[in-house]
Chain A
């Protein structure tokens, strides 16, 4: 099956080309080209864009904007994005990270999408030509998005980003699950705000809302986090795949969430 590649210098023109049937946007291609190699004939034409803004990383103070074409390798080595390096390095091996983009990760089905889990905990904003959306809203309806994602934006958390990926093969393996958390603590050590995002616990990254709520006002001690761990699996519907069953993922989630919160 022949795949035609059309590259446009502007996002506007690429978006126009994406309106045609059988087209798909090409980021780093780790999922798109793989699908073509595996015989996916639903795509006959790939659309790319070389607009420079897509590859830009802009950090001003604690505000960060990352273009959708920025690769995991570029994030992992960026001196101002140390907080995200762990999540970027969680994606694939070195050769995958050299091409895997932020934009493509937003669309990666479970067990992929590790970096997006971090973006969800950061409450990132996802931009297209049409406007901006909170990442949670964007992910819920990502299938109906036909516009090119141009960038993601977020505020670097003062107390850091906690990130944990659990995989069977080290150092590079597909996720059993992954967890990202952004916590704020009051001077007395109690949690004043909690954003916890889970990967592989549904078909796409999701927030652990019940656990977030149960953490508020609690200290990060084994007793303090116990109520949050008890409800960690509320609302999950994990994938079952060759890496782990849905049952297993639910069983081990509280263990790993506990480790991340106490770390």
Chain B
């Protein structure tokens, strides 16, 4: 089977690996690179648990072929904390009880991060829209929406 060399940055660190042709980015990250923060919920594009950020855009790693990521900058939830300090979104998810079983959480946080990167002061509707591709079976969504709004507020306070 053909092995394809692929190079990208993952949370700022250079990665170079050989993948079987046709490997999804989700399997590449989890099984080869060892970053298990993106979760495989459905492998159909439906649940959003595998969401990652590729070159600033929210993407589903289960529907992305690893070999199409050559030269890309990939961010996953495992790259968010800095020196043991949680990212404001991670902190807000914990404080708002927005994570229960936690399976959806890394995908939710990726979707929320892309939103806040582009829209630092989102409305509730903006948050709902941004998270609309992510499914949570535990929380009932409201705590997640509140966590994202809280993180946005704490970001703007920090910036002020």
Contact = CB atoms under 8 A, between A and B. Distances in A.
Contacts of A36: 22
Contacts, number: 78
B132 A33 contact: no
Interface residues of A, number: 23
A2 B22 CA distance: 6
Which range holds the interface residue count of chain B? 20 to 34
Nearest to B60: A95
A92 interface: yes
A263 interface: no
A98 B22 CA distance: 20
B113 interface: no
Interface in A32-46: 33-34, 36-38, 46
Interface in B1-45: 1-2, 20-22, 24, 43-45
Interface stretch (B63-71, B87-95, B146-154): B63-71
B58 A34 contact: no
Nearest to B43: A37
A64 interface: no
Interface in B83-138: 111, 114, 128-130, 132-134
Contacts of A5: 21-22, 65, 67-68
B45 A96 contact: yes
Given A2-B21, A5-B65, 10 more contacts: A4-B21, A30-B45, A34-B43, A34-B45, A38-B43, A46-B22, A95-B59, A95-B60, A95-B111, A171-B128
Interface of B: 1-2, 20-22, 24, 43-45, 48, 51, 57-60, 62-65, 67-68, 111, 114, 128-130, 132-134
